[in-house]
């Protein structure tokens, strides 16, 4: 993959990745989203259901078909696995994803890592895969172990700071790529219970797919009317999107290879374009910020990056 694109000064710039859709969208909405994404200036597209095994708008064969169309358009396609597996049917799909011969795999739990490692058969050239943001990768020892198992890329856990990243970048194995979550609601926690169903006084097994009524999740407020989290089925997200547009130069300086953008129901194309233009030196972050979609009542956040509370948006004046 080329990381130097449209940079007359020959400065190494990160590539852009589109994270898997975290929400429960209809089949038509998903197909339309990726039809548009075919023309977006993203280098990598992650596909698949990562939140809840009951969400079956698309089959694995459908995801594979989307992947082939994106690959034909020049995108690097990666199939993402679920974070929390609870049923035999989910394990069967996991096995099929890990066994596919068309695309790389993003492992979001250690079961996927085990399957991917076993498939390499102990060969000298293990099958490369991606370590997702939900794997606890916090130190050099873990990075080295995952690299030895075949990981070609790791996605920094969203709660890590710039200082943590800087330390790991100094010690990461040669040849291992680093990806950072740069825009979108942060994935914070998962539960065997369904927060969305509970909010509607429904049991998880009879949820009526109520999460589908909230294409960007359901806002959760405190008793003091403070925006606190976003409910997304069994997942809890940050109230507002993380926004690291202002620190793209820092990320490039830390030799981050890829910046990850999480899909939203509206405005994802504008987010991708803003990051691409800033990375390519076509505009400044202060100008590009005005083209981003509204973050909603939760506002933006970047506290984790700054080593502070995650919900904080630190130093907005830098825009």
* Residues 6 or more apart whose Cβ sits within 8 Å of residue 159: 304, 310
Domain architecture of the chain: domains with CATH? 15-186+241-286 (3.20.20.70)
Question: Model confidence over 48-106: pLDDT tens digits?
Answer: 999 999 998 999 999 999 999 999 999 999 999 999 999 999 999 999 999 999 999 99
Confidence check: pLDDT of 11 > 80: no
Confidence check: pLDDT of 4 > 50: no
Mean pLDDT over residues 11-31, rounded? 95
Task: Report the alpha-carbon distance of residue 59 to residue 27 in Å, rounded.
Answer: 10
Question: Model confidence over 258-273: pLDDT tens digits?
Answer: 999 999 999 999 999 9
Mean pLDDT over residues 300-307, rounded? 96
- Evaluated on CA atoms 228, 220, 271, 159, the torsion sign reads positive
Q: Return the closest-CA partner of residue 262 out of 163, 185, 166.
A: 185
Confidence check: pLDDT of 43 > 50: yes
Question: Model confidence over 149-198: pLDDT tens digits?
Answer: 999 999 999 999 999 999 999 999 999 999 999 999 999 999 999 999 99
The H or E element containing residue 218 is strand 218-221
DSSP annotation of 81: P
Q: Return the closest-CA partner of residue 313 out of 263, 266, 247.
A: 247
DSSP annotation of 21: P
Residue with tokens 């030895």: 148
Task: Report the alpha-carbon distance of residue 316 to residue 307 in Å, rounded.
Answer: 16
- Evaluated on CA atoms 284, 290, 293, 299, the torsion sign reads positive
Question: Model confidence over 118-152: pLDDT tens digits?
Answer: 876 555 566 799 999 999 999 999 999 999 999 99
Pure H helices in the chain: 27-37, 60-72, 88-99, 110-119, 140-149, 162-171, 195-199, 248-253, 268-279, 285-288
40 close to 13: Cβ distance less than 8 angstroms: no
Mean pLDDT taken over the chain = 93
Angle at 203 between CA 226 and CA 23, to 5 degrees: 55
Task: Report the alpha-carbon distance of residue 94 to residue 107 in Å, rounded.
Answer: 10
302 close to 243: Cβ distance less than 8 angstroms: yes
- Evaluated on CA atoms 280, 284, 285, 291, the torsion sign reads negative
Q: Taking the chain, what is the end-to-end CA distance rounded to the nearest angstrom?
A: 30
Confidence of residue 316 (pLDDT cuts 50, 70, 90): low
Task: Report the alpha-carbon distance of residue 218 to residue 309 in Å, rounded.
Answer: 22
Confidence of residue 2 (pLDDT cuts 50, 70, 90): low
Confidence check: pLDDT of 8 > 90: no
């Amino acid at each position: 993959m080329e990381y130097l694109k449209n940079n007359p000064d020959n400065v190494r710039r990160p590539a852009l990745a589109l994270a898997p859709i975290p929400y429960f969208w209809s089949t038509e909405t998903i197909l339309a989203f990726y039809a548009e994404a075919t023309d977006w200036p993203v280098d990598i597209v992650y596909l698949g259901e990562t939140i809840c095994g009951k969400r079956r708008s698309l089959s694995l064969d459908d995801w594979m078909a989307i992947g082939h169309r994106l690959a034909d358009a020049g995108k690097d396609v990666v199939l993402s696995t679920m974070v929390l597996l609870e049923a035999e049917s989910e394990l069967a799909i996991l096995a099929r994803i890990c066994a596919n011969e068309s695309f790389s795999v993003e492992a979001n739990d250690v079961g996927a890592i085990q399957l991917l490692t076993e498939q390499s058969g102990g060969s000298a050239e293990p099958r490369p895969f991606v370590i997702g943001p939900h794997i606890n990768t916090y130190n050099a020892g873990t990075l080295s172990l995952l690299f030895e198992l075949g990981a070609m890329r790791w996605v920094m856990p969203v709660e890590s700071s710039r200082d943590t990243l800087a330390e790991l970048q100094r010690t990461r194995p040669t040849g291992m790529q680093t990806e950072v979550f740069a825009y979108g609601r942060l994935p914070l926690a998962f539960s065997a219970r369904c927060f969305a169903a509970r909010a509607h006084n429904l049991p998880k097994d009879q949820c009526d797919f109520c999460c589908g009524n909230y294409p960007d999740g359901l806002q959760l407020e405190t008793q003091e009317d403070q925006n606190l989290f976003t409910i997304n089925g069994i997942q809890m997200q940050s109230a507002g999107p993380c926004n690291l547009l202002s620190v793209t130069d820092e990320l490039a300086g830390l030799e981050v290879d890829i910046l990850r953008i999480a899909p939203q129901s509206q405005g994802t194309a504008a987010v991708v374009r803003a990051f691409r233009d800033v990375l390519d030196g076509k505009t400044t972050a202060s100008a590009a910020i005005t083209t981003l979609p509204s973050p909603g009542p939760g506002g933006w956040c970047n506290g984790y990056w700054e080593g502070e509370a995650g919900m904080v948006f630190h130093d907005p004046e830098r825009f």
